[in-house]
Amino acid sequence: MENPMNPLFTPVRIGRYTLPNRLVMAPMTRSRAAFDGTPGELAAEYYAQRAGLGLIVTEGTQPSDDGQGYLTTPGIYTPAHVAGWRKITSAVHDKGGRIFIQLMHAGRMSHPDNTPHHRQGVAPSAIAPGTGMFTATGMQDIPTPRALTTEEVRQTVADFRHAARSAIEAGADGVEIHGANAYLVQQFFAPSANTRTDGYGGSIENRARFAIEVATAIAEEIGADRTAIRLSPGTAMWGIDEGAEGPDLYRHLVAELDKLRLAYVHIMHQGDEPLLADIRKLWHQALVLNRPGRARDQIGADLASGLADLEAYGTMILANPDFVGRLKADAAMNEADHNTFFGGAARGYIDYPALSA
């Protein structure tokens, strides 16, 4: 029986929007775009099926040729990309939903075979992540990236600004900067990936600078109330080690981002509860919390405790287009097929059944 007082199903304000519920579709790479980065033919249906969520955050979308890491991920920097995304945002809006495009620069998590220009990946420093990547010819080691010059770092900020403008032209309600999961923004945070000696390396303030400049540029371009960021403090994957200063870097970063009054910060939680509590205190706008692998019976717990304003889910939403309805009805959930997460066509993408079916 649905509980009408359940906080999950109450409206919430993020930036310039009032959302009908507090459930967020987490960004999930699906690798079904065309080779030129135009979103795939089925993407509009995929996202529109999930428009009942308070907010959809799209799969990571590269802001430039250099920003692409994986095969067949979408971009948002050419007229073709804008036209492709416009079909998706229109389909979501027709169903009454809200959609933010996640801007993801993969940095060193890239392979030349996967990008349109087939160039070496770029990163804060010329340090390889020490892992492999899937390419059209199978798994290959990721090559050592080329360190960005100071001027190229500034150009990358400008690329993010252009991509954000393109996202709005494509009808998106806003953008989420991907500052998590070992990609470019987090590479700047981590001493294991950033040994720079210019204004973007060394101190906590310098290592946080790139993220703050990207957020500032996008907020100037499209409005802070349409700009958000995702962070994953303490992520230790693909050679990322934020070191002993990591928690203090995030305290500094969140306090600085708070001054911009962004729409929300989205935390991919890795288990540091004291840091999460500090972020909650330092951040005065909406906080979206994603706990990977969260059990169904814990959905809503972070809202109830006041730790979060919205909760984000990934796999369960991938497999259940009517996630909100199933929660309200206390109905069983479809199981996700891991074999169809990346690449392919309709199967495992738009064919998960809804309750009404």
Q: How do 12-14 and 17-19 pair as beta strands? A: antiparallel
Q: How do 227-231 and 264-268 pair as beta strands? A: parallel
What is the rounded distance in angstroms from the CA atom of residue 27 to the CA atom of residue 282?
24
Of 77, 183, 200, 313, the catalytic one is 183
- Show the beta-strand stretches assigned E in 38-137: 55-61, 99-103, 122-123, 132-135
What is the rounded distance in angstroms from the CA atom of residue 190 to the CA atom of residue 192?
5
278-303 CB burial, b ≥16 within 10 A, e <16 = bbbebbebbbbbbbeebeeeebbebb
DSSP annotation string for 291-338: -TT--GGGTTHHHHTTS-SEEEESHHHHH-TTHHHHHHHT---PPP-G
Is 9:54 a contact under the CB 8 Å cutoff? no
Is 181:233 a contact under the CB 8 Å cutoff? no
Measured CA to CA in angstroms, residue 44 lies from 32, 33, 59, 230 at distances of 12, 12, 13, 23
Residue 70 is given by DSSP the state S
What is the rounded distance in angstroms from the CA atom of residue 247 to the CA atom of residue 254?
11
- Give burial (CB, 10 Å; 0-12/13-18/19+) of 197: exposed
Active site residue 200: no
Q: Which residues are catalytic?
A: 183
